Amino acid sequence: MTPMTADSWLLPALVFVPLLGALAILTVGRVAAPGQELVAARWREIHVLTAVTLGIEAVLASVLWFTLDAAGATWQAVVNLPWISEWGARILLGVDPVSGLMILLTAWLMFLSVVGSWNAVKAKLRSYYVLLLVFTAGCVGVFAAIDLLLFYVMWEVVLIPLYFVIGVWGGRERVGSSFRFFVLTMGSSLLMLVAIGALWKQSGAGSFALDALVGGAGLGQTAQLWMFGAFFLAFAVKSAMWPFHTWLPDAQHEAPTTAAIALGIKVGAYGMFRFAMPLFPLAASHDTVQGLIIGLGVIGIIYGALVALVQPDFKRLVSYAAISHAGFVLVGLFAGSVESVQGAVLVMVSSGITNAALFLLLGILHEQRGTGMIANFGGLARVVPLFAVMLTLVTLASIGLPGTNGFVGEFLVLLGAYRAYPVATFLAGIGVILAAVYFLWAVQRVLFQPLVHEANRSLRDLNRREQVVMATFAVVILWMGIAPGRLLRQIEPSARRLVARVEGVAAPASPAPVAADATSRTP
């Protein structure tokens, strides 16, 4: 069993800090009588408490990220405590650079989005922030859990707050959106629970530890296929992969800014990377399965792009763009090369970043005009120049312009996938063209052209707080685009492990490194 180490305090701290923050906020809120709106002074306290909590969380996540050693042990900052000893379930936490990166992303996105959308929520502020903090804790748990049962518990902790957030603070169609989200995610994760139980029973290992079950624990291909299917479904739904995506545009459209950003964190794609694929390599390396999933990915890329093209509402457009990006993640993960898997991880991260920045910017418009319909804008570049610069930069990153974060991930996915799946790569490449079409068209209709709606003349530009937040995004977008080297090197061992595990099962006879014989390869 993996031993505890000196940095074992980090992961529990990352889980409990947001929960303690949530408790503190609940205490503040209790001063007002139940059912009444809070007085303004309390609002400020709640805002500050939330921001400070998430700020601490972001700092902790940074500490975690920078203390991770890519060349070191598979799992770091390990917590290993007994939990339900009858079943062999343990509180087993541990991260590798990929999960460390996801925790870093989550903490910073939550922090920046709360700071960047200060005034987005007016009603029931206290509950809103409590739920978001619980979500943050759950998210860290999902990324850090390496015990399957613990992972499942955390998975549910992530889903429930989101369900409430959409249902209560969403717009006009909030109840429908929330329920759609609930039915799809709960239904599919119950299947995953069944698969976890079956895996536990069939493996006979008497443990839920990932390390004990990885590789399928001696299960045959048929069993692996079934269980993989259950995991895949849960993850596919949560990451809004085609055709399980319809809840996302609705939910993100109705949800307040921070919740929309929280919905965009790629928990599902991470689940594929960490659990579904290494647990069931016989299924994940199965030709038909790979072909099918990559096919779904490609459909998602093109379908998402085409539907984004015709969205009259900018937020929905961004959601469909995210569905398109999710397709790149699928293709990258299942194409089975180190480059494509690294690319997929980068797409998870950078699509989270650019989508968050877009939702923040659109939230600023929405706050002032009460609408996100593209047709209600136009000519904004003259009125809100800073906003325009930021929207353009973030859009270009989403389009995948070289020099921005968006390019690196997509490029590596396609480059790495080409050798095994040329046709799919070719089709996915068309998505790159389409991304330019839908985003530039939308940006043009918002920022450029004549200013026709008088109401837009009095829009305010980014204030100081928003400037700082957006500047942070800009720096990250460019830094990841120009110098992703450290990041790539950090996550490379994890990517190699996954590829070795999945492909190693598929073709144990030829684990040949590509560089050595690349030149002698025949087309």
Partner 1 sequence: MTHPLQGSAAELVWLLPTLPFLGFLINGWLSIRGAMRERVSTHPARVTDAHARHPQFTLVSAVGVGTVLAAFGVALAVFAALVAAPSDAGPFVQTYGSWLPSGDLRVDWAFQVDRLSMVMALIVTGIGALIHLFSVGYMAEDPGYPRYFAYLNLFVFFMLTLVLGASYAVIFVGWEGVGLASYLLIGFWFSETRNADAGKKAFIVNRVGDFGFLIAMFLLWANLGSLDFRDVAARSTELAAGGGLVTAICLFLFLGAAGKSAQMPLYIWLPDAMAGPTPVSALIHAATMVTGGVYLVARSADLFALAPAASLTVVIVGAITAIFAAVIGLKQWDIKKVLAYSTVSQLGMMFVAVGSGAYVAGVFHLVTHAFFKALLFLGAGAVIHALHHAYHEVHDTTSDAQDLRLMGGLRRQMPWTFGLMWAATLAIAGIPVLSGFFSKDEILATVFRQASGSALASASWLGISGAFILWVAYGVLLVTALLTAVYMTRMMLYAFHGPSRVPGAASAHVHDSPWVMRAPLVVLGVLTVVGGWLNLPALLPMGPVAVLEHWLEPVVSRGAGLLSAGSAALSHGTEQGLIGAAVAVAVLGIGLAIWRCRPAAVPAIDAAQPTSGIEYVLANKFFVDEAIQRVIVQPIVKMSRLVLWRGIDVGLLDGVFVRGPGYLTRGIAWAGARLQSGLVGSYVWVIAIAVLALLGLMLVGGTR
**Subset of residues 7 to 46 that bind partner 1, contact rule: CB under 8 A:** 15-16, 19, 22-23, 26, 29, 34-35
Query: Residue 513 interacts with partner 1 (CB under 8 A)?
Result: yes
The answer to whether residue 183 forms part of the interface with partner 1 (CB under 8 A) is yes
Residues between 404 and 423 with contacts to partner 1, criterion CB under 8 A: 408, 411-412, 414-416, 418-419, 422
Are the C-beta atoms of 223 and 217 separated by less than 8 Å?
no
* Residues 81-120, mask of contacts with partner 1 (x by CB under 8 A): xxxx-----xx-----------------------------
Q: Which residues contact 166 (CB under 8 A, 6 or more apart)?
A: 174, 177, 178, 181, 251, 254, 255, 259, 263
**Dist CA 515 CA 411 (whole Å):** 19
Contact by Cβ (8 Å): 139, 278:
no
Instruction: Report how far apart the first and last C-alpha atoms of the chain are (Å, whole number).
Output: 46
Tell me the closest approach of the beta carbon of residue 81 to partner 1, in angstroms.
3
Coil vs helix vs strand at 409: helix
C-alpha span between 404 and 474 (Å, rounded) = 9
Site string for partner 1, 272-301 (x = CB under 8 A): ------------------------------
State the nearest-atom distance from the C-beta of 342 to partner 1, in Å: 5
Q: Scan residues 157-176 and list those touching partner 1 (CB under 8 A).
A: 157, 160-161, 164, 167-168, 175-176
Q: Would you give the binding string for partner 1 spanning residues 187-226, x where CB under 8 A is met?
A: ----------------------------------------
For partner 1, the binding residues in 459-478 under the rule CB under 8 A are: 459, 461
Closer CB to partner 1, residue 288 or residue 458? 458
Distance CA 35, CA 58 (A): 33
Q: Which is nearer to partner 1, 223 or 399 (CB)?
A: 399
CB atoms closer than 10 angstroms to residue 403: 13
- Virtual torsion, Cα 95, 101, 102, 106, nearest 10 deg: 120
Q: Which stretch binds partner 1 (CB under 8 A): 66-74, 253-261, 272-280, 336-344?
A: 336-344
Q: Whose Cβ is closer to partner 1: residue 138's or residue 327's?
A: 138
Residue 423: Cβ within 10 Å count: 11
Residue 517: half-sphere exposure toward Cβ, Cα within 13 Å: 7
Q: How far is the CB of 160 from partner 1 (least distance, A)?
A: 6
Q: Per-residue x/- marks for partner 1, 428-457, CB under 8 A?
A: -xx-xx--xx--xx--x--xxxxx-----x
Nearer of residues 510 and 519 to partner 1, judged by Cβ: 519
# binding residues, partner 1 (CB under 8 A): 112
In contact, 460 and 404? CB cutoff 8 Å:
no
Does residue 311 bind partner 1 (CB under 8 A)? yes
Q: Nearest distance from residue 412's CB to partner 1, in Å? A: 5
Q: Which residues contact 363 (CB under 8 A, 6 or more apart)?
A: 116, 117, 120, 256, 257
**For residues 121-150, which are near partner 1 according to CB under 8 A?**
124, 126-127, 130-131, 134, 137-138
User: String of b and e for 458-497 (b: at least 16 CB within 10 Å)?
Assistant: ebeebeeebeebbebbbebbeebbeebeebbebbbbbbeb
Among 205, 401, 474, 506, binds partner 1 (CB under 8 A): 401
Q: Which of the ranges 66-74, 214-222, 308-316, 349-357 carries the binding residues for partner 1, by CB under 8 A?
A: 308-316
Query: How many Å apart are CA 518 and CA 523, to the nearest integer?
Result: 10
Q: Rule CB under 8 A: which of 374-393 touch partner 1? A: 379, 381-386, 389
Q: Residue 84 forms beta bridges with which residues? A: 89
Phi and psi of 73, rounded to 5°?
A: -65, 160
Question: Binding residue for partner 1 (CB under 8 A) from 291, 423, 489, 507?
Answer: 489
Which of 276, 384, 267 lies closest to 333, judged by CA?
Answer: 276
Binding of partner 1 at residue 484 (CB under 8 A)? yes
Q: In angstroms, what is the minimal distance from the CB of 216 to partner 1?
A: 25
CB nearer partner 1, residue 126 or residue 223? 126
